[in-house]
Amino acid sequence: MIKEYIFGKPFETYAVVDRTGIITEVANEDVAKRIGFKKDEADRALSPYGGITWDDSEYVMTYAVDMGKDDIVYGLGENIRGINKRGWIYESKCSDDPIHDEFKSSLYGAHNFIMMSGEEVYGLFIDYPGRVIWDIGYSHINKMQVLVCSENFKLYVINSEVADKKEQYRDIIKQFRKMIGQSYVAPRWAFGFQQSRWGYQNQGDIEAVVENYRKNNIPIDAVYMDIDYMERFKDFTIDSEKFPAFEKFVSKMKKQHIHLVPIIDAGVKIEEGYDTYEEGVKKNYFCKEEDGNNFVAGVWPGRVHFPDFLNAQARDWFGNGYKVLLDAGIDGFWNDMNEPALFYSEKHLKEAFDEIETYKDKNLDIDTFFRLGNIVRGLGNNLGDYKSFYHRATQPEGEVLVRHDHVHNIYGYNMTRAASDAFKRLVPDKNILMFSRASYIGMHRYGGIWTGDNYSWWSHILLLLKMLPSLNMCGFMYIGADMGGFGGNVTEDLLMRWTELSMFVPLMRNHAAAGTRNQELYRFTDTEAFARLVNIRYALIPYIYSEYMKAVANNDMMYIPLSFEYPCDKYAVNAEDQMLVGESIMIAPVYTQNATGRYVYLPENMTMVRIRAVNDYELTECKAGHHYVDVALDEVVFFIREGHALPLAGSGQYVDDIDAGEVTLLRAEGSNADYELIWD
Ligand code: GLC
């Protein structure tokens, strides 16, 4: 059962699309009291909210509940920390911040859905596109306080009528997912291995990558084009010196079964004669400052305007921009810098220079020296800047002027919606790959996400694992992290262990930042091992794709924490480094450097698969309980659940090369478990 409480006059985010069965109550004072809402001045003053800064003019409503000591809070989608979100404070604020460490409170997405598992199990969704703070046992260890910085929002409480806890979890998720609409389905080729790097400059760079992968028998389906393919970082342009005959190049790559996937950034370069810029200005499609001028920010190309993605006409216009690349044969894109990320605003930059000028020739002391640094550091993604521009948002009642910070979290969502709507208009018969960096619940219908600029840190292998189920809960199914890590220098063993997890994840893309060590799989000593591992991935694609398709169709999760399936087993409930992937298998990746194995907990009897290559594996029956399992650096160990089967194909050099009709079913000895394969 879903109850909707409406507070004030909420902004329509279009997160909720299926209203069947929703019981609506206007949240008058009475209701507010009943569900624990109060205007919360006192708590606000008391709470030492770490890195989160308050603006006292923000109106805050708090939802406060006591948590029993064993209660678990799941959810919040793309985020730091555990599967169990207790013990930290999170802020829903799409943020361009590459340091994903424990002290952060936000990443690129804002996903306001949690599921509380205590005496009662229920889901809570806050549909508000501005700031929401989730203090889950941070200020008070046994208290959850959700602070909504507005008096206009919707809150949904989802309960389940089924008695069994295990069924309740999935029932609540399914009800929520049904309400927010079916998730985006990526094309099948996008389940293949993909290579990216910020720094590939031209056709020659890309060809060399493809050649090296093919030469080393490492399967691959796509190569990414980062910002350097554009002409001076202008959206919907191609640098003709670097790509003299782009269309021909795209088709040459296609013949080699390689899809090229260009990046599109949110900011549009200000440059006379650049059609996208000129048209946007002429038609008033950019975000405005209070005085009606177009807001000016700095991103890759220097000065840019931000398209007003909240406006339906601006969305249509920007969406049409993709046509030039679609026409050239491109069938996949990634939308970036759409929080929107800004290096500076023109106004703020001027103020900063003026202030810095006053520091010249001064004796900089403890205060002034740090202040000086903060002036520059504070330029990027500045809250004051987000408060200084406006959208002409298309709402059911017509066009509404709204200040950006109140709708910040749906900017990237609407950029992706613009793209997806355009694909349906422009190439209705094609399924285009689309994923985004910034996101909000609702965007899951239009594309997937990648988890942004992570690092080549061992902890980030585990972070990816922990995010998978919470992303699924929020509808995001086509997901993945930069394999090997984006920032920093990767090591061969880190990349290998990461490959061994990413092979179970829909978006398996190796991506790295400019200036870091080369990270393509053929750059390392044991290229042959990487080839074996990626071939295993391709043998697993029929399973991964089938489970993905089933989860999408059933509004279900593909990555299931052990606690969902075995809620009465205390070891399973605490497992944060193992995961059920689909109906048949459990994975337990190695994420520690120099480890030659790990402890694995089996909540039931399972069949262990130790696999080194597509035709080189053995199965061992294991009893429920704790095990220490050896896992050599170049092999993968995972487990098949009792009564289930895993289809293993014969690999392929690209997805269309996989013969899904020829699969071997791996299952327990004597089992006749079957498997329903989806390969359309
Ligand atoms: C952002 C993206 C990253 C990309 C870079 C250059 O940092 O998150 O993936 O490589 O921009 O476009």
pLDDT digits (tens, 9 = 90+) for 15-44: 999 999 999 877 666 555 555 555 554 454
Closest protein CA for atom 10 of ligand 1: 198
What's the pLDDT at 192?
Answer: 98
What's the pLDDT at 62?
Answer: 76
Long-range contacts of 33-37 (CB under 8 A, 24+ apart): 35/5, 35/63, 35/155, 35/157, 36/63, 36/64, 36/65, 37/7, 37/61, 37/62, 37/63
Phi/psi class of residue 284: alpha, beta or left (left: φ > 0; alpha: ψ in -120 to 50)? left
What's the pLDDT at 575?
Answer: 98
How far apart are alpha carbons 339 and 138 in whole angstroms? Answer: 26
Distance of CA 83 to the CA centre of its chain: 15
Going across the sheet that includes 2-7, the strands are 22-26, 2-7, 153-159, 121-127, 113-117, 72-75
Pair of tokens at residue 208: 């060399």
The closest-lying atom of ligand 1 relative to the alpha carbon of residue 198 is 10
Low-confidence spans in the chain with pLDDT less than 50: 41-42, 44-48
What's the pLDDT at 63?
Answer: 79
Burial 608-642 (b: 16+ CB within 10 A, else e): bbbbbbbeebebeebeeeebebebeebbbbbbbbb
pTM equals 0.96
Pair of tokens at residue 511: 């991506």
Residue type, 406: H
- SS (HEC) of 32-80: HHHCCEEECHHHHHHCCCCCCCCCCCCCCEEEEEECCCCCEEEECCCCC
Rounded distance from Cα 78 to ligand 1 centre (Å) = 17
Closest protein CA for atom 4 of ligand 1: 198
Closest protein CA for atom 7 of ligand 1: 453
Give one DSSP letter per residue of 203-220, joined into a string.
Answer: HHHHHHHHHHHHHTT---
Q: Choose which residue among 223, 337, 510, 511 to substitute to test ligand 1 binding: the one with the highest number of ligand atoms within 8 A of its C-beta.
A: 337
The closest-lying atom of ligand 1 relative to the alpha carbon of residue 452 is 8
Rounded distance from Cα 264 to ligand 1 centre (Å) = 10
What's the pLDDT at 45?
Answer: 42
The closest-lying atom of ligand 1 relative to the alpha carbon of residue 196 is 10
What's the pLDDT at 46?
Answer: 41
Strands 448-450 and 645-648: unpaired
The closest-lying atom of ligand 1 relative to the alpha carbon of residue 482 is 9
What's the pLDDT at 572?
Answer: 98
Structure confidence by residue, pLDDT tens digits, 603-657: 999 999 999 999 999 999 999 999 999 999 999 999 999 999 999 999 899 999 9
Q: Helices 459-473 and 492-502 meet at what angle, rounded to 10? A: 20
Give one DSSP letter per residue of 489-514, joined into a string.
Answer: ---HHHHHHHHHHHTTSS-EEE---T
Nearest to 662 by CA among 673, 677, 674: 677
Rounded distance from Cα 485 to ligand 1 centre (Å) = 12
* Sign of the alpha-carbon torsion through 70, 74, 76, 78: positive
Q: HSE-up of 201 (CA within 13 Å, CB side)?
A: 3
Rounded distance from Cα 453 to ligand 1 centre (Å) = 7
Q: Does the bond joining 340 to the residue before it have cis omega, within 30 degrees of 0?
A: yes
How far apart are alpha carbons 268 and 591 in whole angstroms? Answer: 40
Distance of CA 438 to the CA centre of its chain: 7
Pair of tokens at residue 678: 């989806």
What's the pLDDT at 150?
Answer: 86
Are 599 and 588 in contact by the 8 Å Cβ rule? The answer is no
647 lines ligand 1 (CB under 6 A): no
Structure confidence by residue, pLDDT tens digits, 56-111: 567 677 778 889 999 999 999 999 999 999 999 999 999 999 999 999 999 999 99
Rounded distance from Cα 107 to ligand 1 centre (Å) = 14
Q: HSE-up of 273 (CA within 13 Å, CB side)?
A: 1
Are 327 and 365 in contact by the 8 Å Cβ rule? The answer is no
221 lines ligand 1 (CB under 6 A): no
Are 117 and 71 in contact by the 8 Å Cβ rule? The answer is yes
Burial class (CB in 10 A: 0-12, 13-18, 19+), 599: exposed
Which element (helix H / strand E) includes 543? helix 527-553
Burial class (CB in 10 A: 0-12, 13-18, 19+), 463: buried
Pair of tokens at residue 618: 């053995």
What's the pLDDT at 53?
Answer: 63
The closest-lying atom of ligand 1 relative to the alpha carbon of residue 513 is 10
Tell me the backbone φ, ψ of residue 492, rounded to 5 degrees: -60, -40
